[in-house]
Amino acid sequence: MDRMDPANPPVTDPTIWQLAARVVAMPADTNAFGDIFGGWLLSQADLAGGTIAIQAAQGRVATVAVKEFQFLAPVLVGDLVEVFARMIRAGKTSMTVEIQIWAQREPDPQSRHQVAAANFTYVAVDEQGSPRSLPPLERGPRVTEA
């Protein structure tokens, strides 16, 4: 069996779109009216974007800004929600991660549609929470000998 080696995971380029989170919207994620809460979707985007930022920063990051978060269509309980993310800007200590969220009415893959878009800015921080310089960008797959 071809098993993933957790000690040597594949490294993917953070500037290329990645599926950064995949989750089913649950009844606990609804607001008082029974619709999926916008804050829940924003939280999923922050978590997913954070994985790209942590990868690029090779360590701790803090969310410093959320820009242009657009809710394009409602998410319903039971929807399969996918968060795609890519880094679109790297500064000295900060970076911008573009987010697209798509939803699928289970079990119909044809129902897949975009429900949100946003740009998140993360800052690489040290142990004291102060900004630190971003390391050189690690791109492409890590090649391992069989």
Ligand X SMILES: CC(=O)SCCNC(=O)CCNC(=O)[C@H](O)C(C)(C)COP(=O)(O)OP(=O)(O)OC[C@H]1O[C@@H](n2cnc3c(N)ncnc32)[C@H](O)[C@@H]1OP(=O)(O)O
- The DSSP output letter for 97 is E
CB of 14 to ligand X, least distance (A): 15
Binding footprint of ligand X, residue count (CB under 6 A)? 13
Check: CB of residue 114 under 8 Å from CB of residue 100: yes
- For 39, other C-beta atoms within 10 Å of its C-beta total 10
Please, which of residues 82-111 interact with ligand X by CB under 6 A?
91-94
Q: Of the candidates 39, 129, 135, 140, which one interacts with ligand X according to CB under 6 A?
A: 129
Contact call for residue 65 and ligand X (CB under 6 A)? yes
Within 28-133, strands assigned E span 61-71, 79-90, 94-105, 113-124
φ and ψ at 82, to 5 degrees?
-120, 130
Find where tokens 């119909």 sit. Answer: 108
Contact call for residue 125 and ligand X (CB under 6 A)? yes
**Residue sitting closest to ligand X (CB):** 91
Contact call for residue 119 and ligand X (CB under 6 A)? no
Q: Which is nearer to ligand X, 128 or 144 (CB)?
A: 128
Query: Contact residues for ligand X (CB under 6 A)?
Result: 62-65, 91-94, 121, 123, 125, 129, 131
